């Protein structure tokens, strides 16, 4: 009995589940008739059938990977899929390292705050803004202090003036119950 012709399966195809939503299709997972093929050296081979692409991948001992599935016809490249995934993961990790997470720090004040205490809070605000964090300034009122809320607003305006050019006010002072909230961010 003559041997049965089995379709080529790359070493990476064995026991491989279907690709997830963000992974490219490889080898026999590609379900179109025509593809635009790029060989292992990066040369454009033109529009060919998937079978020809699979043969080219088999001859090179590599995989046929669908690089751009939304193009017409889809763009496929002959390359080592394991190395491709490793490089993509490395690029994603580098991008994640370069991201800056913006943190919102909160400074709480009272309308009858002492001058020295306010200076200490201002030093903390300068430090937070220098690190690139946003600062939420909360002025809390208790009891009869609500009758003199203008004192609290004057303190917040003094804070804004003393921070000067290094800030951008994202939220003007606004009453929320028994407190006034102002949000500032570092100026770019």
Contact in structure between 145 and 180 (CB atoms under 8 Å): no
Considering Cα of 42, then 43, then 46, then 52, what sign does the dihedral take? negative
| Residues 72, 88: Cα–Cα separation, whole Å | 23
| Residues 78, 94: Cα–Cα separation, whole Å | 25
pLDDT at 153: 87
Q: Which ranges of 115-148 would DSSP assign to H, the alpha helix?
A: 115-130
Give span(s): CATH 3.10.20.80, the chain. 27-96
Q: Which class in CATH covers the domain with range 27-96?
A: alpha beta
Query: In DSSP terms, which residues pair with 184 in a beta bridge?
Result: 135, 169
Give span(s): CATH 3.30.110.10, the chain. 104-186
Which two structure tokens, joined as six digits, stand for 122?
């201002």
Provide the pLDDT confidence category of residue 135 given band limits of 50, 70 and 90.
Answer: very high
pLDDT at 108: 93
pLDDT top residue among 59 and 12: 59
Provide the pLDDT confidence category of residue 2 given band limits of 50, 70 and 90.
Answer: low
Longest dimension (CA), the chain: 101
> How many residues make up the chain in this entry?
188
Could you name the CATH architecture of 104-186?
2-Layer Sandwich (3.30)
Which two structure tokens, joined as six digits, stand for 58?
């088999």
| Residues 9, 21: Cα–Cα separation, whole Å | 22
Provide the pLDDT confidence category of residue 9 given band limits of 50, 70 and 90.
Answer: low
Q: SS3 for 99?
A: coil
Is pLDDT of 19 > 80? no
Provide the pLDDT confidence category of residue 131 given band limits of 50, 70 and 90.
Answer: confident
pLDDT at 68: 85
């Amino acid at each position: 009995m003559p041997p049965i012709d089995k379709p080529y399966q790359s070493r990476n195809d064995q026991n491989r589940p279907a690709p997830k939503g963000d992974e490219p299709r490889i080898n026999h997972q590609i379900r179109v008739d025509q593809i635009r093929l790029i060989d292992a050296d990066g040369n454009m081979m033109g529009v060919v059938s998937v079978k020809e692409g699979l043969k080219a991948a088999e001859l090179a001992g590599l995989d046929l990977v669908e690089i751009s599935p939304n193009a017409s016809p889809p763009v496929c490249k002959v390359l080592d899929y394991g190395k491709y995934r490793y490089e993509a993961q490395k690029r994603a990790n580098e991008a994640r390292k370069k991201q800056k997470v913006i943190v919102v720090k909160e400074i709480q004040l009272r309308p009858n705050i002492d001058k020295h205490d306010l200076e200490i809070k201002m030093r903390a605000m300068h430090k937070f803004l220098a690190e690139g964090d946003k600062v939420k300034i909360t002025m809390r009122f208790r009891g009869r202090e609500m009758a003199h809320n203008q004192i609290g607003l004057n303190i917040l305006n003094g804070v804004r003036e003393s921070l000067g050019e290094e800030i951008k006010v994202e939220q003007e002072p606004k009453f929320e119950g028994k407190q006034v909230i102002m949000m500032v961010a570092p100026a770019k």
